[in-house]
Amino acid sequence: MGQAKTLTERELKRVLDYIALHRHAARNRAMVLLTYYAGLRVSEVASLKYSDVVAQDYTIKAEFQLAPELVKGGHGRTVFFSEKLRKELDTYVKTLMRHEREHLRLFRTQKREGFTANTLCQHFHWLYRRAGIEGASSHSGRRTFITNLAAKGIGVRVLASLAGHRSIGTTQMYIDVNDDQKRRAVELV
| pLDDT tens digits, one per residue of 105-116 | 899 888 777 899
The answer as to whether 128 is a domain residue is yes
89 lies in a domain? yes
The CATH number linked to 69 is 1.10.443.10
pLDDT per residue as tens digits for the range 36-60 = 999 999 999 999 999 899 998 999 9
Residue 59 in domain = yes
Q: How far apart are CA 76 and CA 100, in angstroms?
A: 26
- Would 187 be classed as within a structural domain? no
Whether residue 175 is contained in a domain is answered as no
Amino acid found at 66: L
User: Does any domain span residue 177?
Assistant: no
- The Cα–Cα gap between 81 and 175 comes to 21
- Write out the E strands in 32-76: 63-66
Q: Residue length, the chain?
A: 189
pLDDT score of 1 more than 60: no
Q: Domain total for the chain?
A: 1
Give the separation between CA 161 and CA 120, rounded to whole angstroms.
Answer: 24
pLDDT mean over 62-72? 83
Rounded CA separation 61/173 (Å): 30
Task: Decide which of 169 and 4 is more confident.
Answer: 4
- Name the residue range of residue 65's domain: 9-141
Contacts of 60 (CB under 8 A, 6+ apart): 53, 54, 81, 86, 87, 89, 90, 93
Query: Looking at the domain assignment, is residue 3 inside a domain?
Result: no
Judge whether 115 and 107 are in contact, CB under 8 Å: yes
- Structural domain includes residue 147: no
User: What's the pLDDT band for 178 if we cut at 50, 70, 90?
Assistant: confident
Contact 36, 145 (CB under 8 A): yes
